[in-house]
Amino acid sequence: MSPTAISTVVANGTNGQNPKLEFESYYNVINNDLTNTARTRHNINPATTEPNPEVPVSTQEDVNKAVAAARAAFKPWSNTTLEERGEKLVAYADAIEGYKHEFAKLLTAEQGKPLAQSYQEIGMATTWLRAFSTMTIPDETIEDTEERRIVLRYTPLGIVAGLIPWNFPILLAVGKIAPAVITANTLILKPSPFAPYCNLKLAELGTHFFPPGVLQVLSGEEDLGPMFTTHPDIDKIAFTGSIATGKKVMAAAAPTLKRVTLELGGNDPAIICDDVDVEAIIPKLAILSFLCCSQICMMIKRLYIHENIYPRFLSAFTSHTASLKVGPGTDPDVFIGPVQNKMQFDKVRSMYQHISSEKWTPALGGNVPDANPEGKGYFLEPTIIDNPPDDSAIVTDEPFGPILPCLKWKDEDEVIARANEGKWGLGASVWSKDIERAERMARRLEAGSVW
């Protein structure tokens, strides 16, 4: 079956004023030129397993050309003013917003999330761009005496490579574009091989706003990442993805002493106290557990419920979760779309297989999906496991799919210790009407962000 276009050609976006951008053909962007490669590949729509359009497969030569263009652009770009760069970010945000319908359709076709969530992602991305456009980078005077004056200045690093994951390709690309551009660095995006389409179009649209070499993109396969992390003339790697890949990125960047920012996985605990309004918080907890088919690093992955309310909570939570519609992201009222790719589908499916082998008790769902979903899409029914052992894989590992353990707790010290168990520490939350109690517990949680 031949790949088909994801969207229709549009001449001027949805507001009639944007630069021309079509959504049928996909190219690398090197030095503001749209380039192709000798070999191409395509991804599939995870809701249908139908092929999406062809995209480039970049080589070391392409990387070297992009790095050379970024290096040439760096000095003049670093001499622009903060105000000039901020204005470009705002104009870029306006242009993305002008194509929001096209980007939303494209995002759903390559990632699988419901259209409503695609629009939310685009809205968050443009908010980030506009927020960074107001960023100030003042000099900080450390000491000012008759003998000396010591000033702390923040200066651009140079060339940044942004390695983007497949779960939020627009938002997390913009999360690297905005800070890199406003701080006068040049940036090369490397999309996930599973979700390259939106990143390619973001950079193509950027050619109308940024000088050549400032924002570029290269699509490729699994071997493309190491070409960036080992390249001697790249100054920083910004990576979002799994812990396993993050370790490889850090190791590969070490010989050239690149600066590295890693945003990795999470197994976030949520602690529910016995004073909560169960009916009021259930819809919020369901969203924070199953949004984007649970493929978010900071989703709730472990739900600890006080034993005094556990039966009532579990009943209400499973009932509400069962009402969430599963299906293709283009269908009305769908909340849970497919898992994004076959590799992740197989990983999450293996967790469903544990239900029987480990004798877990499903309060909802639990059916093992077909191992071969071709033609059907990578769909998994939301599943809730009733109080599994703390050492079970559903508790100790990050599923990154719509399967969630609910666990009982009685004592604060005990639940804090259990929540802090393991190698993860990205996020956590405490739910209580008693703010003092919630803050006391939150301060003891070992996580980068606690709500």
Residues catalogued as catalytic: 263, 297
In contact, 202 and 177? CB cutoff 8 Å = yes
Sign of torsion over alpha carbons 392, 398, 399, 405:
positive
Counting Cβ atoms within 10 Å, is residue 84 exposed (0-12), middle (13-18) or buried (19+)?
A: exposed
Backbone angles phi, psi at 144, to 5 degrees: -145, 95
Q: State whether residue 87 is helix, strand or coil.
A: helix
Distance between CA atoms of 137 and 139, rounded to whole angstroms?
7
Distance between CA atoms of 171 and 219, rounded to whole angstroms?
17
Angle, helices 82-98/197-206, rounded to nearest 10 degrees: 130
Sign of torsion over alpha carbons 304, 305, 311, 314:
negative
Distance between CA atoms of 67 and 218, rounded to whole angstroms?
11
Q: Which amino acid type is present at position 53?
A: P
Strand 159-163, strand 236-240: pairing: parallel
CA atoms within 13 A on the CB side of 206: 31
